[in-house]
Every structure is written in C-alpha cells, then in structure tokens.
Amino acid sequence: MQTRFLNHGWAQILTTVWQKIRASLRAGHIEQNVGLILIPLGTTLAQVEGIVIERTLTACGGDKEKAAKILGVSARTLYRRDAAKKVITKSPPSA
C-alpha cells in the first residue's frame, strides 16, 4: 500500500481521501461532528487560533471556563481575546 501512495501526488491523495470522507458522511457511516477542524493552506496562525477558539467555545456551549481547560489556557485569556475581537469588529463612528 505504501508504494501505491508513492506513485501519486499528495494533492491527488488528499483529494481522494476527502472524497471518501464526504461520501461516508453522506451515507451516514461516520458522525459529522467528530471534533475535527479542516483549515485550508494559507490560513494565518491568527486565523487558525480564532477558528480553534470559536469552534471549541461552540462545542462547549459558550462556557469559557470549560473551553479554556480544553485549550490549555486560562479563561482570562479567552475573555481578553473576546474583548479584543469586539473592539476590532466595531464599526467606526460615522461622521
């Protein structure tokens, strides 16, 4: 099996694996929410961090204490990041 993979490019291998996963999801063979996050190449580390925090919070029902424990950070870190995100996303005052 290992030699079979060596004869194909990585892009083709990943495409094949992704197609099989999607087919299994559609057929109901595997659970859709298995705690996996797909992150496209080219995503910045800051974006990856935001995605992981957001998905963990969602999985924890918004409980920052529980999410922080799973992520291995303090709840205070999540509160600070949340506050910073709100400041950044606020629209500027209209003139």
Condensed to tens digits (0 to 9), the pLDDT of residues 43-78 reads 898 888 888 898 888 888 889 998 899 899 999 998
Locate the domains of the chain by residue range: 1-34, 35-95
Higher-confidence residue: 50 or 36? 50
CA distance 58 to 28: 23
**Count of CB atoms situated within 10 Å of the CB of 53:** 20
Q: Which of 23-37, 64-78, 81-95 is most confident?
A: 64-78
Residue owning tokens 């495409």: 15
pTM: 0.56
